[in-house]
Chain A
Amino acid sequence: MTDTAIDLQGLHKTYKGGQPALAGVDLSVPRGAFHGLLGPNGAGKSTLIGLMTGLVRLETGSVRLFGHDPERDPVAARRRVGLVPQEVNFNSFEPINEIIETQAMYYGLPRHRARERARVVLERVGLQERAERKPWGLSGGMKRRLMLARALVHEPELLILDEPTAGLDVEARRDTWALLQELNMAGTTILMSSHYLEEMRDLCQNVAVLKEGRLIANDIPERLFGADAGSGTGDQGLEARFLRLLEGGEPKGEDQP
């Protein structure tokens, strides 16, 4: 059994007629880690997540999830992974409980177990009252919770989240943080992309920073942002330190090329 949950080597991706979205990314995430993925818009975070989860066609490089190639052995690799995508991607014409049940069955759960798990995860994210309804009337935050429930229904060992708290109010964001920390404490490996620097600093054990398709840093938050970084917008604030990092100034991560 490998101790590495995610092992990415030499990932390159160029979309048709565009600039390279990823230009040779290597990244390794150990089992049980809470790993952040940070970078400005267009840095390649969603492409990286798409390549890991089968949503984007792999050009060159290799993806290994728990030691398995998801293309060659999808059952061994993908069954252990849950994804919360950045954009809403459920069927709006299907009742909420059926969305979750179906996803559970896609991951190989038998129907009775899928029903049971759907009930459990919907209760966990506070959507049990709306289980029989279609998701038309859900608020933005509720839609995110629905996608989180869907990603958790098969009890994945690795949870990948693409900006899961974008657009959430403070309370909903804190609820999501608490749930993610609880899952991580229970052994779930988490890879999360976000634009919220406080989220990265407070939740993640390690943060990988992408810029223009390259990994420019991969280190503990204290070394990336400085142990004394505050939340303000001043020179010593997180934002200023992150911008300096992107510009190539101090501080540098251990894996910086």
Chain B
Amino acid sequence: MNATILWNAYQGLVIKQVRRFLRSWIQNLLPSVVTATLFMVIFGQFVGRDLGQVGGASYADYLMPGLVLFAVVTNAYNNTTLAFFGARLQRHIEEMLVAPMPAWLIVAGFATAGVLRGLMAGALVMLVALPMTQLELQHPGIGLLVAVLSALLFSFAGLLNGIFARSFDDTSVIATFLLTPLIYLGGVFYPIDRLPAPWDTVSLANPMVYIVDGFRYSLLDEGTTGGGWTLLVLPVVTVSTGILAWWLVARGVRIKP
């Protein structure tokens, strides 16, 4: 009985959130596709021809997995940040708080919608970028696992941003000043072992390195860490971030006076 009630509540939240981002799909899904296409055409096709082999592949092939992951994580992050902050701002988060929805269910619902948007954006980027490469999926299971876990991690992280944000400015500060540099410096555009010391070592502290590397491994069968680190680090960080988000929502931080 309780399980059915909770399942229906979870579905309600996911449907609401998916409808929310699909209602503005031009604003929510297309920018990633446009950006990735431009990167593939300019860097993959024009500039990349002069670069030769990078990380054991053509530059277009090397670039594409990073761009897909870029779309996955930014979309997952932005979705939960804005959805949760919007719910707080307009106070319709109260619709959930008065209902028989435990905190973990609220976190799960928002995170699921973030994952779905991240995966949709990633799939669209892949669809557009794949014809510009010679890539074949080498380890599809690992690729899917890394994409889902990355989307989940950044959905939880976006939720933390949505919980603490006090204004719309706060919803973009982390994405602009932390997330984007981490992604750009996380081996999307170049192998980190080509960096001069000490930056090659410093880069190992960037979690995006492992995420991008694992996903690249699934497509190219090549990667700096061989995908092993990704599958070790990613689940631990994801679960920890999820627990933190649950704890904050359960305590009513910035939600309940």
Contact = CB atoms under 8 A, between A and B. Distances in A.
B100 A78 contact: yes
Given A89-B92, A103-B95, A75 B16 contact: no
B233 interface: no
Contacts of A28: none
Given A98-B16, A105-B8, A106-B12, A89 B94 contact: yes
Interface stretch (A107-115, A202-210, A227-235): A107-115
Contact of B92 (A54, A78, A90, A109): A90
A196 interface: no
Interface residues of B, number: 31
A92 interface: yes
A91 interface: yes
B247 to A, nearest CB: 14
B91 interface: yes
Given A56-B257, A57-B252, A108-B100, A89 B95 contact: yes
A109 B90 CA distance: 24
B181 interface: no
Contact of B94 (A57, A85, A98, A107): A85
B92 A111 contact: no
B95 to A, nearest CB: 6
A106 B12 CA distance: 6
Contact of B12 (A88, A105, A150): A105
B99 interface: yes
Contacts of B252: 57
B42 interface: no
Interface in A70-129: 74-75, 77-79, 81, 83, 85, 87-94, 98, 101-111, 114
Contacts of A98: 16, 19
B5 A79 contact: yes
Nearest to B19: A98
Interface residues on A, range: 35 or more
Q: Main secondary structure on chain B at its contact with chain A?
A: helix
A106 B99 contact: yes
A49 to B, nearest CB: 10
B138 interface: no
**Residue with the highest number of chain B CB atoms closer than 10 Å, among A54, A57, A102:** A102
Contacts of B98: 53-55, 78, 81, 83
Interface in B233-257: 252, 256-257
A15 interface: yes
A249 to B, nearest CB: 33
Contacts of A83: 98
Nearest to B109: A106
B12 A114 contact: yes
A54 B15 CA distance: 23
Contacts of A81: 98
A99 to B, nearest CB: 8
Given A102-B16, A109-B8, A111-B11, A55 B100 contact: no
Contacts of B5: 75, 79, 107-108
Nearest to A54: B97
Contacts of B9: 105-108
B102 interface: yes
Contact of A55 (B13, B92, B97, B102): B97
Contacts of B100: 74-75, 77-79, 106-108
Contact of A106 (B13, B19, B23, B256): B13
A103 B23 CA distance: 19
A75 B7 CA distance: 12
Contacts of B11: 105, 111
B4 interface: yes
Nearest to A73: B100
B12 A74 contact: no
Contacts of A87: 91
A88 B20 CA distance: 19
A103 B94 CA distance: 10
Contacts of B87: 91
B8 A94 contact: no
Contacts of A109: 8
B135 interface: no
A75 B256 contact: no
Nearest to A105: B12
Nearest to A92: B90
Interface of B: 2, 4-6, 8-9, 11-13, 15-16, 19-20, 23, 86-87, 90-92, 94-102, 252, 256-257
20 contacts: A50-B257, A56-B256, A57-B256, A87-B91, A89-B90, A89-B95, A90-B95, A91-B87, A93-B20, A93-B23, A94-B19, A98-B19, A102-B12, A102-B95, A103-B99, A106-B9, A106-B99, A107-B5, A108-B4, A111-B12
